[in-house]
Structure 1
């Protein structure tokens, strides 16, 4: 195990994960008003209605696929009768479909942000960096899937024998960088790009993924009062009218106009 391998597959992942966790906590404590997507729906919603669901639903299924393939040991899925053939089909073809939806959705969102004047003016340098760092691992992941899973035939490259145990070894605090020695280059680039994204994640609008509107289910109802005549609210009248005064005192004019 050389120094480059240790730096790439031990030091850098730990640094990225530490910055991800500590940075998110710091951002939540000291920048709560900036913890938002900074929605631009008011500026344009027609293109957004197309691109946003494609991207968000696609990236959710991509994340679920990564969770299953990387964090759940191969022996567990095989123990419940989920063989390699079935896993390969779902991970490769269903994952590729989710990846295509994610890429198309992201492309639409970038096009909208670049061509819609008010949306482009509201785009910061951090936003532009975020889009680049978001697109690179997605594209590299699709490249790896096509080259080593679809075009390779058979069961393709079994990353659950190398990448998956390496990643889990980091969480066990017993890193095994030697498992990454013979991993294809495209997978290595995909992993490095993914950790680079996690490194900058807390400092971008991506933090909004941790904001689930859970209080909505338990908060009190909002009471709306009708302004219709006879429903308890007096209709506004323009001009001047007398204000009620005690008997015997002069009632002066009071304005009700705004």
Structure 2
């Protein structure tokens, strides 16, 4: 029974979550495009929004690409480049820690703003509140996994030998759930929470992150003409 549960969690659930992300996004953009909006509350409060938004977005972008690099680049490649595992690990901890704390600080500011400011709270939907809390949880778990587990509880743990291998296996549909059983519990919870965010991504305001102003690339250029000076033209006549 334990193997069945682990198989469902690490070999079935990831595809359900990613399938929800892909097909939910397609359906949202195809049939409910008019509902995609950032719905800014800037007019209600601007200072905290600006500070928190900049910190969070800059931090989370670096965190996201750090995760992508950590998953897609195998240990054999950095070994071939001559990068010692200790140097790679220190670099990942430093850069990931800075980006993670930036994202956490930004999310704390934005969450405080959303829950403490009565006007902002009243204009927030239930999904807005859940998304804020979900990001707080997943960021804290990520920092706890990288710094707590990686530095103090399990300093010998190398996620590139199991967690990253399992993540790459998802792309060619042969994930080995036994690899995830070697991963410390905090890392596993962090992965589950991250997959849940992907699963619910298309059904929340987060979907606006995938919108790009393509119309500006293809629309005809606008021509601006100077308004004629009627009085001057009349006098010259």
Q: Is TM-score (shorter-chain normalized) higher than 0.5?
A: yes
State the partner residue of 1:15: 16
State the partner residue of 1:193: 193
Deviations 1:207-258 (A, max 9, x none): 11211234435545555566xxxx42669xxxxxxxxxxxxxxxxxxxxxxx
Deviates more, 1:142-151 or 1:63-72: 142-151
SS at match of 2:212: coil
**Aligned 8 A contact 2:56 2:106 in 1:** yes
SS at match of 2:182: coil
Aligned pairs, number: 230
State the partner residue of 1:247: none
State how far apart, in whole Å, the 2-side matches of 1:85 and 1:153 are: 14
Q: 5 Å matches for 1:36-115?
A: 36-115=37-116
**Aligned 8 A contact 1:92 1:150 in 2:** no
State the partner residue of 2:234: none
Deviates more, 1:51-60 or 1:205-214: 205-214
State the partner residue of 2:139: 138
State how far apart, in whole Å, the 2-side matches of 1:4 and 1:181 are: 12
SS at match of 1:212: coil
Query: How far apart are residue 116 of structure 1 and its match?
Result: 2.7
State the partner residue of 1:129: 130
* Greater RCO (Cα-Cα under 8 Å, separation 6 or more): 2
Give the root-mean-square deviation of aligned CA atoms: 2.0
Query: How far apart are residue 181 of structure 1 and its match?
Result: 1.4
More helix by share: 2
TM-score normalized by structure 1? 0.82
State how far apart, in whole Å, the 2-side matches of 1:225 and 1:46 are: 38
State the partner residue of 1:180: 180
Query: How far apart are residue 115 of structure 1 and its match?
Result: 2.7
State the partner residue of 1:204: 204
**Aligned 8 A contact 1:36 1:205 in 2:** yes
State the partner residue of 1:232: 228
Query: How far apart are residue 73 of structure 1 and its match?
Result: 1.2
**Aligned 8 A contact 2:17 2:196 in 1:** yes
Judged with a 3 Å threshold, the aligned counterparts in structure 2 of structure 1 residues 81 and 209 are, in CA distance, closer, same or farther, namely farther
**Aligned 8 A contact 1:133 1:196 in 2:** no
**Aligned 8 A contact 2:70 2:160 in 1:** yes
Pairing 1:119–2:120 present: yes
Pairing 1:213–2:213 present: yes
TM-score normalized by structure 2? 0.89
Deviations 1:108-140 (A, max 9, x none): 011111233332121011111212222211111
Judged with a 3 Å threshold, the aligned counterparts in structure 2 of structure 1 residues 121 and 70 are, in CA distance, closer, same or farther, namely same
